[in-house]
Chains A and B, each alone.
Chain A
Amino acid sequence: MQSVSLDVLTQKAKQGSKKAFSEIVRRTYADTYTLAYRLVGTSEDAKDVVQETYLKAHKGLQRFRGDAQITTWLYRITANCANTYLSKKLRHKHDVLENDEEVIDLNVQRDPAHMAQIVGLRSELTEALEQLPAKLRTVVVLRDIYDMAHADIAEQLQISESAAKVRLHRGRQKLKELLYPQSTEMEEGSAHAV
């Protein structure tokens, strides 16, 4: 099974192979969990979202047409489940984020100086992302990390495309304010001076 591609596994799973679906879960679990964690912010919540994601994927596999990769399809389901989960949760209490887990970098970059710069900003960025309100964070994560289309984001979050764009705009602005506060203060200072 290890050498079989995800596309082949998907076909087999659609034909009813339990083994193939289990293998898809094994292979995509880390990615799905990472996205869920980025969206909901805590390990326990991410696990619940992952569980729900695979249940939905199992139920909806026959509707998967194969026009996108199965990983992209799973990202959409994860985004949808995380959104539902957060909406339910936020009805009861405010977002509490914990920084209890590190993520492993699988990207092999060849320029060490560039890499060091990115790694430096990335850890601050992770913290800044966690400080964003959930609504803004979700859109920034889906668009700027996972490169999901505006239309897909809007569909999964059950909002209009323009609302998704507005949230993205605000999210990026807020991230910059958090990461470069001195630059924002300077800007405000010069505005007051004028």
Chain B
Amino acid sequence: MLCEKVQALLPQSQGSPEGLPAKEAAHLGSCLQCQVHASQYASIASSLASMRHQVAPIDEAHLASVLEEYETLADVIPLNPRRRRLRKAISTGRAVTAVTAAAATVVAVKLLTKQRLAS
């Protein structure tokens, strides 16, 4: 009866007695059949964890296509829209300042010319 209970808990603890309640952990320490199941779960757990370091070989052609698609998208949707808006605002501001300065210069030159002519 206790074997069934212990074996039902083993997937959760991955075969370790540490994740089990005291009574079940004590049973695992003395039951050979449950120990076999526990060691199988523990083996699976350590093998799965070791798979974390495996990587598939890089498909260069696919990587290139991902990068290409990204480059195209990045031109349409900027990475940092706020920054782009700020840049646009600054350049607009600069243009307005330049036009105003040019207009002021023209007006000033005209006024000076008028004054000279009058005198």
User: B-contacting residues of A (Cβ < 8 Å)?
Assistant: 13-18, 21-22, 25-26, 29-31, 33-34, 37, 43, 46-47, 50-51, 54-55, 58-59, 61-62, 101-107, 109, 117-118, 121-122, 125-126, 140, 144-147, 168-169, 172-173, 175-176, 179-180, 183, 187
> Which residue of B48, B56, B59 contacts A145 across the interface (Cβ within 8 Å)?
B48
Interface size class of B (residues with CB under 8 A): 35 or more
> Which residue of B37, B54, B78, B80 contacts A106 across the interface (Cβ within 8 Å)?
B54
Residue of A17, A26, A121, A183 contacting most chain B CB atoms (<10 Å): A121
Contacts across chains A and B counted by CB atoms under 8 Å: 138
Are A22 and B71 in touch, CB under 8 angstroms?
Answer: yes
Contacts of A13 in B (CB 8 A): 79
Are B79 and A101 in touch, CB under 8 angstroms?
Answer: no
Chain A interface mostly: helix
Are B71 and A180 in touch, CB under 8 angstroms?
Answer: no
Are B80 and A15 in touch, CB under 8 angstroms?
Answer: yes
> Which residue of B49, B56, B70 contacts A54 across the interface (Cβ within 8 Å)?
B70
Bound: A175/B10 CA distance, A: 13
B89 within 8 A of A: no
Are A121 and B44 in touch, CB under 8 angstroms?
Answer: yes
Are B67 and A179 in touch, CB under 8 angstroms?
Answer: no
